[in-house]
Structure 1
């Protein structure tokens, strides 16, 4: 049964659950109503029996007439009891019943005989049910009478049909009302479920449409502040994020293809020229051959750098795994980056002043980011120029060149992927270096920005949260080595703020 219910549509299940809940509630209310009504009717019924008074002349009247078991004419008027509702008879201790009032005598029970046998001055009475002549009676038996010198009791009785008939009618009415209520509740439940699930149905159709067509531009109308509206807005935000991600992916592929086309075309041209000279038997002059091979080597180096940058950008944009983070000396990273760039650009002077500063970051990625900042500064520095690198005690790393500088209109685009200034497109590079810097710094919880420097040139400002000293007892005396390496200590520190609190400027 449970399996069959689970196979039903959601609106049908809601309708069934609503009908079942209403059925239970109505049944409970109907049973309670019936029980309360029965108790009230029985209480009133018993009270009417107790309030019936027995005339004090009853024994004399019975003695004058005699004990009979049939109704004589005119007896009722002399007794003064209600002839339409109460039956009366006198019961002797031996079980003899003397008819007093009503249609017929009622069978005498042991309880009646016991009450009739009471001879004490105290009046005793009892209420009990008796079935006589196929009818159930409510009987009140009262002691204290004497008939012909014998102790006797009088019984006043009324048929229980006065209570059971209204109760049967009430049960029938309650059953009809409950049945109608359950049917109505089921129908109302289906209508409410259909109306309430209409937004969910629209959401389902939209999801199916997106899965079928991959059209992420579809939006679900979201009105109000209920759960369905929140779900619709969340779904719209999710599809918008997916559309943005897919757009970025497509743009990355297009930009990567465009950037790869130039070095590949140059490589193909140079290799075809070398191959043609070999096939024709007319070798190129040694100087020209050396230039071609140098060009091929340079193009391959550029391709390798571009592929490395693409691999770096293909990593998820979310924060890296905390297991990859370590507390490192930023001044040590900057010092190693300066040495690497000096070897590649001996024609540019790089002056560095580095104060101790410890940060939590991915060591290799952070070193690559600093190298990219230095490469960018060296690229735009003239031969014999100077690049100044300064890391202050506040954790701000400044990289300043004295080149032509970046126009103000181009500053908002410098961290975009594959974006290159029109004046720098003739220079080597893929346009991905600063994008990698922004991404790495953002994942470390810092900020990075470029601005025009006073007196000309460009200044890069990189700020990372950290501390000027490592935690007490750490094994980071070797500058640039991450905490926790070689000594078994963890990388967590109460002095280091958590990563992920900042965002890179773009």
Structure 2
């Protein structure tokens, strides 16, 4: 069932329920009022006859003449009196039945309070419904007054029919209103569904999503537009990553294939090759394999977001993280690093920040001559790694943190161009900024700044 059908059904059911409740309450109130009015009439008529305000039917016989009663009795009720023995001694119309309740009134002993007693009953005379009231008389016997309820029944039946018609009309009107509102409400939803279907069929995330409302549907449309923009950006990044990765992988793979083919030709030939030449070929293969391994590791870091952007941040000592990263690098490479640190507290993730510092040191180690020292400075929330290498040309400094970007002066050197991209992603997650400048030794000065937590 569609949303529009559900809304139409809901509006119709609500209108029908309200109409039924109102109709039932009105019918019950009207029925009670009509019944009370009839009972009041019968009670007053019995009192008028008993008090002599109206002529008593005593002595008028038990049945009405064919020509109608010749007494001044109103035709709106049948009045009947009985003796103490329960015999009818007068009636203004058809004879009324002596029921058990009426017999109890007749059997009451005479006293001054017998007028207060009376009983109401519903009876049927010749297939017609009557309301009858029986009251004990002070002198003995009883007086019975009955009135046909046919008119009352017709009135209630007519009222019930009208309520039914009103309920149907209200239900139809509410359903029509619900259909109109549902159509107006679901129109933007249908357009969003069409956009989703178009994206699913074509894979085009650049489809425009109309945002014309400020309510929940407008919020949904805006969220959908933001989602499609994010998907388009993600796909562009993935495509760029694949293209850049394929470009970067092609060079070491080609070199590796050439070296392997050369080694294969040497093994198949009868010519002798010196141990130095064989070792040089094997060293070249090993170097290319290591380069591929490093490239794959960094690609996995970027492709799988291994820095975990949802990683919780906590108060950490940035100077201690840098000192620990420098110590591990020195132990790994036996290369001394000059460290200048000041106590700095930031909101961060220790593992991620240590990886960023390690990548900066590795970048400096790669491009700095062995006899040139590496300097690491930590002060006021920034970390700077300075080397004495060829430096970064001014034209490349803004792009050095892009994936696979490598300056013209360093393209012949080993490296994937991903290390600084990983640093930029980690720093961005921590709300910081990266930079690349020239060191005082004409080398590279690369680092980042993080917000400092005071106290």
Residue 399 of structure 2 aligns with which residue?
Answer: 413
Q: Which residue of 1 aligns with 2:377?
A: 390
Q: 1:74 to 1:143 in 2, by over 3 A?
A: farther
The corresponding residue for 2:324 is 333
| Count of residue correspondences | 446
1:480 corresponds to: none
Residue 368 of structure 1, CA deviation? 4.1
Structure 1 CA distance for aligned equivalents of residues 54 and 282 of structure 2: 146
- What is the CA-CA distance between 1:386 and the residue it aligns to? 3.9
**Contact 1:128/1:138 (8 A) holds in 2:** yes
Rounded to whole Å, the distance in 2 between the matches of 1:58 and 1:296 is: 133
Given that 1:87 and 1:157 are in contact with CA atoms closer than 8 Å, whether structure 2 keeps it comes out as: yes
Shift of 1:119: 1.9
**1:239 matched residue in structure 2:** 228
Residues 98, 219 of structure 1: alpha-carbon distance in 2 compared, 3 angstrom cutoff: farther
2:144 corresponds in structure 1 to: 155
Q: What is residue 34 of structure 2 aligned with on the other side?
A: 41
CA distance in 2, matches of 1:118, 1:406: 128
Partner Cα distance (1:72, 1:465) in 2: 114
| Corresponding residue for residue 374 of structure 1 | 361
Q: Map of 1:52-451 to 2, 5 A cutoff?
A: 52=45, 54=48, 56-57=51-52, 66-71=59-64, 79=72, 83-101=74-92, 103-116=93-106, 117-122=108-113, 123-129=115-121, 130-144=123-137, 146=139, 151-183=140-172, 185-186=174-175, 189-190=178-179, 192-270=181-259, 272=261, 295-316=284-305, 319=308, 329-339=320-330, 343=334, 350-354=337-341, 361=349, 363=351, 366-379=353-366, 381=368, 384-392=371-379, 396-401=382-387, 406=392, 410-442=396-428, 445=430, 447-451=432-436
Distance 1:450 1:177 in 2: 77
What's the offset of the Cα at 1:12?
Answer: 3.9
Q: Secondary structure at the match of 2:48?
A: coil
Q: Which residue of 2 aligns with 1:486?
A: none
Cα displacement (A) at 1:67: 4.1
The one-character-per-residue Cα deviations of 1:222-275 (angstroms, maximum 9, x if unpaired) are: 321333332332233222222222211111110011112223334444555566
Q: Call closer, same or farther: CA 1:238–1:446 in 2, change over 3 Å.
A: closer
Q: CA RMSD in A?
A: 4.2
What SS class does the counterpart of residue 111 from structure 1 fall into? helix
Offset, 1:449: 1.4
* Contact kept in structure 2, 1:317 and 1:439, CA below 8 Å: no
User: What TM-score does the superposition give when structure 1 sets the normalisation length?
Assistant: 0.72
For 2:117 and 2:66, the matched residues in 1 are separated by: 29
Does the CA-based 8 Å contact 2:64-2:94 persist in structure 1?
yes
CA contact (8 A) 1:38 1:167 kept: yes
Q: Residue 136 and residue 467 in structure 1: after superposition, are their counterparts in 2 closer, same or farther (change >3 A)? A: closer
1:23 and 2:8 matched: no
**What is the rounded CA distance, in whole Å, between the counterparts of 2:69 and 2:53 in structure 1?**
11
**CA positional deviation for 1:417:** 0.9
SS at match of 2:26: helix
- Report the secondary structure of 2:308's partner residue: coil
* TM-score for both structures, normalised by structure 2: 0.79
CA shift in 2, pair 1:60/1:461, >3 Å: closer
Please say if residues 119 and 135 of structure 2, whose CA atoms lie closer than 8 Å, have aligned partners that are also in contact: no
Residues 408-467 of structure 1 show CA distances to partners (whole Å, capped at 9, x for unaligned) of: 664443322112234443443221110122234455x36351143675554334456899
| Higher alpha-carbon deviation: 116-125 or 244-253 | 116-125
